[in-house]
Amino acid sequence: MTKTLEAQFNHLIETTKALQQGHFQLASGLHGSRFFRCIKLLENPQAAEFLFDAMAAQFSEPIDMVLGANEAGSILAFETAKRLNVKVAIARQTDHQYHLIDGFAIAPEQRVLIVDDITTTGGTAKKLITIAQSAEAIPVGVGLIATKGLFEVDLGCPTQVLITLKGMDAVSPESCPLCQQGVPLTQ
């Protein structure tokens, strides 16, 4: 019997210890008591293959290129592009802005699939959509491994989410109970 995607994902979280407890400042600027080290999910490439397979299976429309960013997002983009038999482009963040890494290019009219690992608000995916649009390419979809289930992630682009996480939290620093208790941020 094949396990559901969610059961496989939960097993992967357990074995990689990717979900950490503490007091974290998230990429969105919000604070949370649980933090995903997404890259840890990928420490055993064979164990993570089901995620790449599931991501590639979400998209049947014509795609020319997969675009991802940062460490885990780059690996996800590469593996998804491999399965879709298309090109890949990688962006990274410098000075709070996303840019394509030198050597990668997106051509006008190219149909670009944007992928990202785990998002709170979809901020990275939004910035990658902007990169595609500024190259006059066509963002045809967004694939996310997971959302934290806290916010409506509306990217103005057809979005597939493999897993909605349960029990995640994200609050503004001003209303963060851990800040109010004087708990230092986890480094």
Nearer to Zn ion, 35 or 50 (CB): 35
Nearer to Zn ion among residue 65 and residue 178 (C-beta): 178
**Residue-wise DSSP of 156-186:** SS-EEEEEE-SS---B-GGG-HHHHTTPPPP
Q: Does 179 bind Zn ion (CB under 5 A)?
A: yes
Give how many residues touch Zn ion by CB under 5 A. 4
Q: Please report how the helices 70-84 and 45-57 are oriented relative to each other, as an axis angle in degrees rounded to 10.
A: 60
Q: Is 142 in the site for Zn ion (CB under 5 A)?
A: no
The Cβ-side half-sphere exposure at 183, using a 13 Å CA radius, reads 18
Q: Per CB under 5 A, does 148 bind Zn ion? A: no
- Give the shortest CB-180-to-Zn ion separation in angstroms: 8
150: tokens are 């806290």
CB of 175 to Zn ion, least distance (A): 9
Which of 2/181 has CB closer to Zn ion? 181
Question: Measured between alpha carbons, how far is 145 from 8 in angstroms, rounded to an integer?
Answer: 13
Nearer to Zn ion, 31 or 148 (CB): 31
Contact 146, 34 (CB under 8 A): no
Looking at 35-43, 64-72, 125-133, 177-185, which segment touches Zn ion (CB under 5 A)?
A: 177-185
C-alpha to C-alpha distance for 121 and 109, rounded to whole angstroms: 27
Cβ proximity to Zn ion, 24 vs 59, nearer residue: 24
- The structure tokens listed for 73 are 């997002």
Show contacts with Zn ion in window 13-52 (CB under 5 A): 31
Q: Which residues bind Zn ion (CB under 5 A)?
A: 31, 176, 178-179
